[in-house]
Amino acid sequence: MLKTSLKTLPPHEEHDVVYPSAWHFILVHLALVGILFTGVTGLALTLCVALYALRMFAVTAGYHRYFSHRSFKTSRVGQFVLAWLCQMSAQRGAVWWAAKHRLHHKYSDTPLDPHSPVLRGFWFAHVGWIFAPRAREADYSVVPDLTQYPELMWLNRRKYLPAVVLAVAVYLAAGWSGLFVGFFLSTVLLYHCTFFINSMAHVIGKQRYVTGDDSRNNWFLALITFGEGWHNNHHHYQSSTRQGFRWWEVDITYYLLKLLSLVGVVWDLRAPPAEVVANERRLARTVVDKVARQLAESFPLEDIAGQVREAWANSHRMEDLAERMREARTRAEAALSGLHMPEIPSVDELKERAREMFRDTPSLDAIVERSREFMIEAVSRHVVEGMPAPA
């Protein structure tokens, strides 16, 4: 579990006031009052279920697995149709959605993650983040593979057009009850089941793999989101179309994409390599660094630095250490690494703590080695900062 606190958030986000910028989100919820006046017809209920299923597939296959992760291929026409189906969910443009999601993976459960429940709590991760000022715009530089298509950018700018067209079509086909139950109720259900991945899939469930964040596998979320609940699997190998790695991990979106691949609508569906599923592949350097830093920060580094200063003072003149450290402040960690410092946890102690904090991984030795480097670097910084100023 990550230990990052709100103190690590950027200054402008620590006490951020949430503004009501997502007016459509509020209106869609208020529209449910209309059900009290129209009642629930069989046709409207059927539409509700059908539109939830269709649009959940569009969200998971389109927004997520195709536009965000490019885990399969389709034609240019198929790509536009998929973007249209995605945006019928009223979750903004497909290019915007992908840009936000790629940012989530790059900074997962860190202060730059748009919606980390570990840092900001359940409600902010679930719905609050979409009202925050920084949620309005996306960094499109992270999706150059999508911005090259003018038709996608055209649709991205008209983010709610497909949803409005769908709402009108539902009204014409099934009247007011169809609109309020078939469209608005299914949209609200779709919203919150999608958002549960942000708010719950990093809090509740099991972690099979070390990913450097708090992503978890949750079978219930997998059922209501057509496979997205196998979130730890996904963070372990993001480019896989299939997110239920084991045969018993139900992944409806993948099954439907597999059927579409049989008729040539989509192709090149990616699957996780056997060594990835078996947890035999070594972690990427970025993940090792992230996990190693978490391991290092689980120890009281400032206290260790104080013990180093005290131990040196008891056996040497503090001026000697001060002089040695000031010879090259930028190389302080190199100076300390050459010292005998029993106060720094040993490799065995680091391994024991790592086994308590994380799942098994073939990169354990690399994590421990990197963590010790981080600890020496941090301790050296605290030692230098605690030195008396030169006379």
pLDDT tens for 74-100 read 999 999 999 999 999 999 999 999 999
Among 212, 310, 188, 241, CA closest to 61:
241
The whole-number pLDDT of residue 318 equals 55
Q: What is the arithmetic mean of pLDDT over 231-243?
A: 95
Torsion of CA 187, 193, 194, 197, to 10 degrees: 170
For 59, which DSSP code? I
Residue 51, CB half-sphere, CA atoms under 13 Å: how many?
29
The whole-number pLDDT of residue 309 equals 64
The whole-number pLDDT of residue 17 equals 46
Say how far apart CA 205 and CA 138 lie, in whole Å.
30
Please state which of the ranges 19-33, 239-253, 294-308, 327-341 shows the lowest mean pLDDT: 327-341
Q: Does residue 232 have a pLDDT over 80?
A: yes
Confidence at 390, pLDDT banded by 50, 70, 90: low
pLDDT tens for 281-295 read 888 787 888 877 777
83: Cβ–Cβ under 8 A, 6 or more apart, which residues? 62, 67, 93, 94, 152, 155, 156
Domains of the chain, by residue range, sit at: 19-277, 285-385
Say how far apart CA 153 and CA 84 lie, in whole Å.
12
Q: Does residue 316 have a pLDDT over 90?
A: no
Please state which of the ranges 128-132, 260-264, 350-354 shows the lowest mean pLDDT: 350-354
pTM for the predicted model, two decimal places: 0.82
- Crossing angle of helices 42-57 and 161-177, in 10° steps, is 160
Confidence at 314, pLDDT banded by 50, 70, 90: low
Q: Where are the beta strands (DSSP E) in 41-192?
A: 73-74
Say how far apart CA 370 and CA 295 lie, in whole Å.
10
Contact call for residues 122 and 203 (beta carbons, < 8 A) = yes
pLDDT tens for 179-221 read 999 999 999 999 999 999 999 999 999 999 998 888 999 999 9
Say how far apart CA 101 and CA 64 lie, in whole Å.
8
Contact call for residues 228 and 60 (beta carbons, < 8 A) = yes
The whole-number pLDDT of residue 173 equals 95
For 38, 122, 210, the CA distances from 107, given in Å and listed in that order, are 45, 18, 15
For 300, 367, 370, 374, the CA distances from 111, given in Å and listed in that order, are 21, 22, 22, 19
Q: Does residue 101 have a pLDDT over 70?
A: yes
Say how far apart CA 49 and CA 129 lie, in whole Å.
27
Segment of 135-139, 306-310, 318-322 carrying the highest mean pLDDT: 135-139
The whole-number pLDDT of residue 48 equals 97
Backbone phi, psi, residue 253, to 5° = -60, -45
Among 180, 200, 201, CA closest to 43:
180
DSSP H/E element including 126: helix 122-126
Say how far apart CA 385 and CA 325 lie, in whole Å.
10
Contact call for residues 361 and 281 (beta carbons, < 8 A) = no
Q: Does residue 277 have a pLDDT over 70?
A: yes
